[in-house]
Amino acid sequence: MTELMPLFMFLVAGLILMTGYPVAFALAGTALIFSLIGSMTGNFDSAFLTAMPSRLFGIMTNETLIAVPLFVFMGAILERSRVAEQLLDAMTALFGKLRGGLGISVVLVGMLMAASTGIVGATVVTMGMMALPTMLKRHYDPAIACGTICASGTLGQIIPPSIILVLLGDVLSSAFQQAQLDMGIFSPETVSVGDLFAGALIPGLILVVMYIIYLLSLAWLRPQTMPAPEDSGDDSNSWAALLSALFPPLLLIVSVLGSILAGLATPTEAASVGAVGAMLLALAKKSCGLKVLQKVARSTLEITSMVFMILIGASLFSLVFRGFAGDDLIAELLAGLPGGVVGSMISVMLVMFLLGFILDFIEITFVVVPIVGPILLKMGIDPVWLGIMIAINLQTSFLTPPFGFALFYLRGVAPKSVTTGQIYRGVMPFIVIQLLMLLMLAYWPELATWLPSIIYG
């Protein structure tokens, strides 16, 4: 019975989370209760808890994690500066003569917003409020409109600079070093956030292309779902409007992402450039007054506080989990699965996929990855490939009915005329595309590993 205590910890924490109790306190409280029970029964060494202050100090002094509030600030500024609205108007005018052009515009704007903000909820809500009424007014099938917006919004999971990739990069770096130390390698290699950014570029762009191909195919095969648009007239103004709307955010993305990939700046330094650049962009558009800055600062503070509180709770949870030899138990379970490395990888991906229904990516990154990451990496799995697989897997989970987070975000801003069933039906083809992308990555890991090897050697 004692050896099953780690599994009971997960079960109790999951049950508490399903009641809606705050994640950070649910994880920390569960850990403290089980450590107390273990100490009273002689199954847990309370000396493990003495490592908690050093873990907190490590979180406080972690330079990579400073990028989180800066990227959140950048995204919040852009969300309130009407960048997405202007982009959507310009692209809609440009693709006005193309059947399905509005859907393609939503995908492309979603991609740019994902690369600008890196926050799934903000992108889905923003695109839902702007694009969904327009698509319904132009008699788009509600299911297709909802599916396109949800899928485009979740691109923030995989297209850099994504917050999940920043967090994953930090966690995977620690897991990779721990795996090498466990294997007797005392000068371990590292994996950086820049590696994950480079690894995510090609899969992210392939996903965008696959979304567009699907929409074009649908417009050809089922034209009634995307009625022919009215003649938009002269395209010269459309091109001018597009360039005017596209240049500032594109310059911001290139300066942030390009400086990281070129090795000119760390993710934290690049995030600070992005935050200042977003503020200047908003000032240039005269959409960044004092009240807006106050709202952005408050929003940034709330999200950042949530992230770090969850990180602290997850650190305590994983510490007690290891105190009960939970990592050994997980290693034995994975080693006993049929199929070796492949079987272990499939099992972990499936568990993370299901956890994505009840946990946000932050909790999964901080709780699950530190436990299973070292075990999988000791099996010889590439850390960059593993990170990209996790990111796309969670992106798929957030799209999948009935519990996908993106579906809840859109439901909150969609008009009452759009049913929940239509939202569910609309995302199904995009889920298939996501699964196809996972299979492509599994068969061709080079899709994720080639670019980092070229850039960083």
Tokens 């305590």 appear where? Answer: 316
Q: How far apart are CA 133 and CA 155, in angstroms?
A: 21
Question: For 49-65, what is the mean pLDDT?
Answer: 82
Question: For 314-319, what is the mean pLDDT?
Answer: 84
Domain boundaries, the chain: 64-456
pLDDT at residue 147, as a whole number: 92
Question: For 47-52, what is the mean pLDDT?
Answer: 84
What is the per-residue pLDDT across 211-258, written as a single tens digit (0 to 9) for each?
999 999 998 888 888 876 665 555 555 667 667 777 777 788 788 878
pLDDT at residue 434, as a whole number: 93
pLDDT at residue 447, as a whole number: 93
Q: How far apart are the first and last CA of the chain?
A: 48
**Higher model confidence: residue 389 or residue 402?**
389
Query: Which range among 20-29, 209-218, 284-293 shows the weakest confidence by mean pLDDT?
Result: 284-293
What are the tokens at 380? 């010889």
pLDDT at residue 442, as a whole number: 92
pLDDT at residue 237, as a whole number: 59
The rounded percent of the chain whose pLDDT value lies above 70 is 92
Question: For 41-62, what is the mean pLDDT?
Answer: 83
Average pLDDT, the chain: 82
Other Cβ atoms less than 10 A from the Cβ of 42: the count is: 8
Confidence of residue 178 (pLDDT cuts 50, 70, 90): confident
Degrees (nearest 5) of the Cα angle 133, 397, 87?
Answer: 35
Q: Which residues of 234-273 are buried (b: 16+ CB within 10 A; e: fewer)?
A: eeeebeebbeebbebbeebbebbbebbbeeebbbbbbbbb
Confidence of residue 81 (pLDDT cuts 50, 70, 90): confident
Contact 272, 69 (CB under 8 A): no
Confidence of residue 119 (pLDDT cuts 50, 70, 90): low
pLDDT at residue 437 greater than cutoff 90: yes
Confidence of residue 118 (pLDDT cuts 50, 70, 90): low
What is the per-residue pLDDT across 370-383, written as a single tens digit (0 to 9) for each?
888 888 888 888 99
**Higher model confidence: residue 123 or residue 197?**
197
Contact 123, 110 (CB under 8 A): yes
pLDDT at residue 138, as a whole number: 82
